[in-house]
Structure 1
Amino acid sequence: MKEQQQTIPQTLITEDEVADYLKANPNFLYQRPDILKLLEIPHPSGEATSLIERQVSLLRERNLELRNRLNKLLDIARENDSLFEKTRRLITELLEAKSLDEIGKVCRITLKHEFNVDFVSLILFSDTQKLSAYYQVQPLTLAQQKISILLAQDKPVCGVLRQNEQQFLFQEHAQAVGSSAVITLRSTEPLGILAIGSKDSKHFQTAMGTLFISYIADILSRALLQYWSH
């Protein structure tokens, strides 16, 4: 009787085991360039590329992405430098102003020309009517009725305003304003409000940075205190 040959079952290696091995031995393909040359990866065009070519392509794509990110950061840095310089000049002019009319004139002209906005509205709160070509005077009680939500904010409000808010702030220009940045001017109580408007509905957005307009409002409030009394 012939002895039966004992068969040894073959164990199949799974893809996950291969992947785990390569992860644990990242230098394996470097040590076996003969295998590396044989590996090919299908390309969407239908052609096959070697693993090395694919890796080079991925590195180029990653390098391009990083370069684009760097360019965006540089653009933001240049924009911030420009805003800082414009804000510095505006603050200097506000501190040098010798009257309420000069303060209002500096706000309107400098913000329009330097910051490229379409509308500037400076409203001061008082029960006494005063006339000026550069600012409005409204009772605080009326402002609290018309724009109470805006007055309650500690930070600038940016975006598209409600119709009644827009009408109170920009009056005859209200229909032309697409978006706005608004900030209350304060000492111990509200002194007034500064509203900057653009015809573009996307120019001022809720998520935009408000650091520079906050600086301007702080200095403007201090400048107004020298000449404004309720």
Structure 2
Amino acid sequence: MTTPVNQALANPITEDDIANYLANTPDFFQRHAELLATVQFTSPHSHRTVSLQERQAEMLREKIKLLEQRIMEMIRNGNENVMLSDKILRWARTLFLTTNLADLPTEIVQEIKDQFAVPQVGLRLWGVADEFSGLGCVQGVSDDAKVFASSLTEPFCGLNTGFEAVSWLEEAHNVSSLALIPLRSGPAGSAAPAFGMLVLASSDAQRFNSGMGTEFLARIGELASAALSRLR
């Protein structure tokens, strides 16, 4: 016959059993309040023994510090978004004020460099009206590049692996990462064939990395497309 002692030895109480009991018996410490005063922990900061109340205070301070960091990050991101919006508005204003359509491609390239601190910017267009066929941005675009631009449903960001668009830049040898932005009629992501492509490039391999968001670049593409569609 199995005795209670043998049963206890065969099925010892585990830490989980104790934790479950305390979780399901919230009035335990009300009946044994004196235990709270004897509970001690080792502080992860000072490595000294502290009371339950001190450890709870430390944990609360850690949570407050984490929340403060998150709030500061939100404020910083908000400020960056405001600054970015201002730059886009200034750039859009320049496009509206450009009355000579033949100057638009040059203005777009230069303003992207100035407003958004992009080291190198290139632009190519195709299918433009005859009066603009002599512009430099219309020259030297292969059929493969046109097909590739039309295949992009969103801006591409990544390392320079030998894209033709890199040859449109003044310092093609100094490109480590780039963003390729298709230009097309309609909103970003539409299925309309592209009539051009912007290339933004940097010698910094992380400037246009494959993990970055492309929403801002898509807005750049939409504004540039709207302005340059007047050349068609």
User: How far, CA to CA, are the matches of 1:123 and 1:166 in structure 2?
Assistant: 8
Are the structure 2 counterparts of residues 109 and 28 from structure 1 closer, same or farther at C-alpha, using a change threshold of 3 Å? farther
Q: Per-residue deviation at 1:27?
A: 5.1
Map 1:1-230 → 2, pairs under 5 A: 9=5, 14-26=14-26, 28-29=28-29, 32-43=32-43, 46-126=47-127, 130-132=134-136, 136-138=137-139, 142=142, 144-146=143-145, 148-170=147-169, 172-187=170-185, 188-226=192-230, 228-229=231-232
Structure 1 window deviating more from structure 2 (180-189 vs 191-200): it is 180-189
User: How far, CA to CA, are the matches of 2:180 and 2:27 in structure 1?
Assistant: 60
Unaligned 5+ residue runs, structure 2? Answer: 186-191
Tell me the TM-score normalized by structure 2: 0.79
- Kept in 2, the 8 Å contact 1:107–1:120? The answer is no
Q: Deviations over 1:24-67 (max 9, x none)?
A: 23454366442111001134565322122111111111211121
Instruction: Name the SS of the counterpart of 2:138 in structure 1.
Output: strand
Larger radius of gyration: 1
User: How far, CA to CA, are the matches of 1:175 and 1:212 in structure 2?
Assistant: 26
User: How far, CA to CA, are the matches of 2:89 and 2:146 in structure 1?
Assistant: 30
Tell me the TM-score normalized by structure 1: 0.80
- Kept in 2, the 8 Å contact 1:111–1:117? The answer is yes
Instruction: Name the SS of the counterpart of 1:195 in structure 2.
Output: strand
User: How far, CA to CA, are the matches of 2:67 and 2:48 in structure 1?
Assistant: 28
User: How far, CA to CA, are the matches of 2:183 and 2:47 in structure 1?
Assistant: 65
Once the two structures are aligned, what percentage of the paired residues are identical? 30
User: How far, CA to CA, are the matches of 2:219 and 2:47 in structure 1?
Assistant: 58
* RMSD over aligned Cα atoms: 2.7
- Kept in 1, the 8 Å contact 2:155–2:182? The answer is yes
Are the structure 2 counterparts of residues 108 and 167 from structure 1 closer, same or farther at C-alpha, using a change threshold of 3 Å? closer
User: How far, CA to CA, are the matches of 2:163 and 2:218 in structure 1?
Assistant: 24
Are the structure 2 counterparts of residues 126 and 48 from structure 1 closer, same or farther at C-alpha, using a change threshold of 3 Å? same
Unaligned 5+ residue runs, structure 1? Answer: 1-6
- Kept in 1, the 8 Å contact 2:146–2:196? The answer is no
User: How far, CA to CA, are the matches of 1:207 and 1:165 in structure 2?
Assistant: 22
Q: Per-residue deviation at 1:16?
A: 2.7
